[in-house]
Structure 1
Amino acid sequence: MAFLLSSFAPVWPILLLAKTAVAVPPAHPMITPAPDLEARVVQRDLNPGSYIESIISGFGSDVSSYIASGVPQFFQDFPSGEAVESSLGITDSDLAPSPTQVLNIPAYGNWTEQGWNVRVHGNVYKQPNITEDRLNDLANVFLVGTDIDELAIPEQEQARNFTASIFVVQQPDVNVTINFENDVDVRPDASGGVVNAEGGVQSIDLPYETTPEGDFDTFIILQNTTGPNGGHLIAGNTTSSIQALNMYTNGTNTGNATAYLVPPTGFTIISDIDDILRVTKIYDPVEGLLNSFARAFTPWMNMPDIYANWSATIPNFHFHYLTTTPEQVTRNYMEFIYATYPLGSFDTRPLNFSDVSATLSIRKFLLDKIFQTFPERKFVLVADTSNSDVMSDYPQLVRDYPGQVQCIFLRNTTATDATDLFPYDTSGFEGIDQRQYMFFVTPDDLRNVDIVGGNCYNPAVVQNVTFGYQGRGFGNAGSSIRWDGSWSWLSVAMALWLCLL
C-alpha cells in the first residue's frame, strides 16, 4: 500500500510506505553541547523470533529503515523552515510582518562554584497565517482513518491548533535575551517544596545565536542580584529548598517559563507523560493519533493524586517531565502538566541534532544530561512498558550511575489494555535488586512504596517477572499473537511508531 500525500512528498517524508525506501533526512548541526556529554546510539534489540520482527520481515524492503530500526518517522520528520514555507506556498517576505514567538521550556539549574547554573532551552519561530480550510487539510494528514469534519467542534479546534503548532517557521541566527524575575505563583503543598526565589532578578543575553532550526540550548550562570525586598538567592550548598524564578524572553509575550534551582542533593523524579500522566494509548494507532491531535488531554486514572501525595510528603522533591515528542507540539503538554501535576522542569525533543545516532538515542541523551548535571542527587524514574527505549535505558542507568537510581516504576500497559499488542523486553532488569523497581498496573499500586527509604516495591503487587520478552504471545502473558493481515500496512507502521514514542 502506498500512502502518498502529493502536496508534501517533495519536502516532507511523513511516513511513506511506498515501494521505494524513504530517504534519511540530512544531518543537522548539533545543539549547544553540555560539558562531557556524549550521545550514544541505543541499538534496538529485536529478537529474531519476536512478533515485531515477524511483521517487519513480512514487509521486506517496503518498510522504512527508520521504522525497522525502532525509530518511526512520523513524529521525527515534522516539516521545518523552508519545508513549511514550500508546503504552504509562502516566502520569507510573506512572514516578515508576523511577530517573532518563542517556546521557552521550563528549566533546571544546578549549584556550581560560580553560582547557580541554569540550562536555558527552547525555540524561536514565526507562525504563518494559515486559513481554516488549509488547516483542516493539514490536520487530516495526521487523523488517519478519521476526517476532521467527523470530530466534535472542540476536537476540531484542538486539531487545528495542534496542526498550526507544527507548521511554524523556525528563525535562525537570533540573539535571545532572557529576563529573570522572582514572581512565581507557587502552590502550597503542590510543587515538591518549591519556594519563590527572593533574589536573582536580572537580564542575560544568551552566548549563542539560535541554530538553523531556531533552537537555543545553553547553561548560563546567574548573578546573585538583590530582589524587590532586598532578598537574595540562597546558595545551593546551604539549602535543601528548590528555588523558582520566572523567565521572560525579550520582545515577545509567548516566551514565558519557570527555572527551578535544584540543590546538589535530594530526590528528582523524571516522569514520562504519555500513558503515565495522561491517556494516550500510543500503542493503538487510531486512538493514539486522536488522543494526541484532537482530544482534550485527560489524566490517567488517579495519577494526579499519587503525584500530589509525593509532592506533599517527600521533602523538596524535584519534578522533571521528559517527553520525546518534538518541541513544536509540547506547549499543550506543558499546559496540561501545570494544570494537573506539580510544578517542575521539562525536557523534549529539540529539532537539531548532528547525526542520526543522536536522534536514535534522544531519551538517553537527555537522561545523561540531567544525571551528569546532578551527580549527587537520587532519581526516581517513571514510565511504561510500551516504550522500548525505557526498557533498555532505565536499567542501564542503574549500572551507568551507581547509587543514583533510587526507584524505577513502570506501568505494564499490556496488563490493562487489550489493544497493546507489542512485547516488551525485561532482560535489562536481571540482577537488579527487586526493591529498586516495580512493574505496576494502576496508580494505587504506588501508594505503599517507600521512595525515601529505598523500598520501591509494593509486595501486594505481584510481579512474576521473567527476564526476556514479555507481553501478548511472550512470557506469562498468554497465547501467541499472529498478524493475520487485517491491519493495513499504515496501521502496523503507525503502531510501531506509537508504541516506541
Structure 2
Amino acid sequence: YLLDETGLSVVSDIDDTVKLSNVLDKKTLIRNTFLKEFESVPGMADVYRRWADERGAKFHFVSSSPWQLFEDLGSFLSNAGFPPAAFHLKSVRLKDRTVLNLLKDPQENKVQVIESILTSYPRRTFVLVGDTGERDPEVYGEVARRHPDRILRMFLRNVTGEVKGSARFSKAFAGVSSSKWYLFGDPQSELHLPPPDTCAPGI
C-alpha cells in the first residue's frame, strides 16, 4: 500500500464504525461476526468515497480483529463500496507466541499501531474515525496529545448516547481542542472535513 509523502490519511476503526457489530453486547457481537452476513454502517462508504475522490484521502483500517478475518473483512468492505485501504489487524496464531496478543491491552495496542503508521508517513496529515463503544476516544485523545500538528480531525460514531461534555470525554480529550473532535450519528450529514488549506490547530 504505497502512499505519497504528503497528503491526507484516514485511520479508521472497523467494528461499529464501518461495520455493524454491537461490540457492547458480546452475544450479538459473536453472532454478527461469525454467524451473520456482515452489514455496513449506513452512509460510511459514501463518506469515505467522497473523501477519497474530493481530497485524495488514503485509508488505514486498524482493528483488534485477528488477521484470520482479513479476507472476509476485505471482501465485505470492497463489496460495500469502501475505497481501497491498508489493514492493520491483530496477529494471532494458536501455535506460537502471537497467541499472547489476545492478552494485550486493546488501548495500548491500538495506540502503538497508529503510532507506527504516523512514523511511517511523517509528512502526512491524519483524520481518525472510530466509535464510542470501546476505547477509541481514549486512544485518539492520547494520539492527538502526542501529535497535535498531525491530527486534523477525530470523528466518533456515538453508539453509547454520551454527550460531548461527559466526564469520560473530558478525561479522554484533556488538553485537546474541542474543535478537533466530534461525535456523530448520521455520517453523510455530520462528517465534514475542513478546507484543504486548513492546518490542524495546536492543542
Query: Using the alignment, how far apart are the partners of 1:357 and 1:287 within structure 2?
Result: 20
Q: 3-state SS of the aligned residue for 1:261? A: coil
Specify whether residues 310 and 356 from structure 1 end up closer, same or farther in structure 2 by C-alpha distance, changes over 3 A only: closer
Query: Using the alignment, how far apart are the partners of 1:305 and 1:356 within structure 2?
Result: 33
Instruction: Output the amino acid matched with 2:87.
Output: F
Residue 270 (1) aligns with residue 43 (2) = no
1:397 Cα offset (Å): 0.9
- Which residue does the alignment assign to 1:339? 79
- Which residue does the alignment assign to 2:66? 326
- Which residue does the alignment assign to 1:497? none
- TM-score, length basis structure 2: 0.83
Instruction: Output the amino acid matched with 1:345.
Output: A
Query: Using the alignment, how far apart are the partners of 2:99 and 2:39 within structure 1?
Result: 35
- Which residue does the alignment assign to 2:126? 379
Query: Using the alignment, how far apart are the partners of 1:342 and 1:412 within structure 2?
Result: 23
- The answer to whether the 8 A contact 2:10-2:60 is kept is yes
- Which residue does the alignment assign to 1:437? 181
Instruction: Output the amino acid matched with 2:84.
Output: L
For residues 213-251 of structure 1, what are the alpha-carbon distances to aligned partners after superposition, in whole Å with 9 as ceiling and x for unaligned?
A: xxxxxxxxxxxxxxxxxxxxxxxxxxxxxxxxxxxxxxx
Specify whether residues 398 and 357 from structure 1 end up closer, same or farther in structure 2 by C-alpha distance, changes over 3 A only: farther
Specify whether residues 296 and 356 from structure 1 end up closer, same or farther in structure 2 by C-alpha distance, changes over 3 A only: closer
Residue 410 (1) aligns with residue 153 (2) = no
1:452 Cα offset (Å): 3.0
Query: Using the alignment, how far apart are the partners of 1:357 and 1:299 within structure 2?
Result: 25
- Which residue does the alignment assign to 2:26? 285
5+ residue gaps, structure 2, are none
Query: Using the alignment, how far apart are the partners of 1:398 and 1:290 within structure 2?
Result: 34
Which one has the bigger helix percentage?
2
Q: 3-state SS of the aligned residue for 2:84? A: coil
- The answer to whether the 8 A contact 2:145-2:176 is kept is no
Q: 3-state SS of the aligned residue for 1:370? A: helix
The structure, 1 or 2, with the larger RCO (C-alpha pairs under 8 Å, 6+ apart) is 2
Query: Using the alignment, how far apart are the partners of 2:195 and 2:128 within structure 1?
Result: 11
1:109-188 pair list within 5 angstroms: none
- TM-score, length basis structure 1: 0.35
For residues 275-306 of structure 1, what are the alpha-carbon distances to aligned partners after superposition, in whole Å with 9 as ceiling and x for unaligned?
A: 11111111122221111111111111121111
5+ residue gaps, structure 1, are 1-259, 417-422, 457-501
1:320 Cα offset (Å): 1.0
Query: Using the alignment, how far apart are the partners of 1:262 and 1:364 within structure 2?
Result: 21
- The answer to whether the 8 A contact 2:58-2:85 is kept is yes
Query: Using the alignment, how far apart are the partners of 2:190 and 2:13 within structure 1?
Result: 16
Q: 3-state SS of the aligned residue for 2:4? A: coil
- The answer to whether the 8 A contact 2:145-2:175 is kept is no
CA RMSD of aligned residues (A): 2.6
- The answer to whether the 8 A contact 1:320-1:344 is kept is yes
Specify whether residues 448 and 347 from structure 1 end up closer, same or farther in structure 2 by C-alpha distance, changes over 3 A only: closer
1:431 Cα offset (Å): 2.8
Query: Using the alignment, how far apart are the partners of 1:292 and 1:424 within structure 2?
Result: 31
For residues 342-393 of structure 1, what are the alpha-carbon distances to aligned partners after superposition, in whole Å with 9 as ceiling and x for unaligned?
A: 01111100125597798222212211111111111111100001112x2222
- Identical positions, percent: 24
Specify whether residues 448 and 398 from structure 1 end up closer, same or farther in structure 2 by C-alpha distance, changes over 3 A only: closer
Tell me how many residue pairs correspond in the alignment: 189
Specify whether residues 373 and 299 from structure 1 end up closer, same or farther in structure 2 by C-alpha distance, changes over 3 A only: same
1:455 Cα offset (Å): 8.7
Instruction: Output the amino acid matched with 1:391.
Output: P
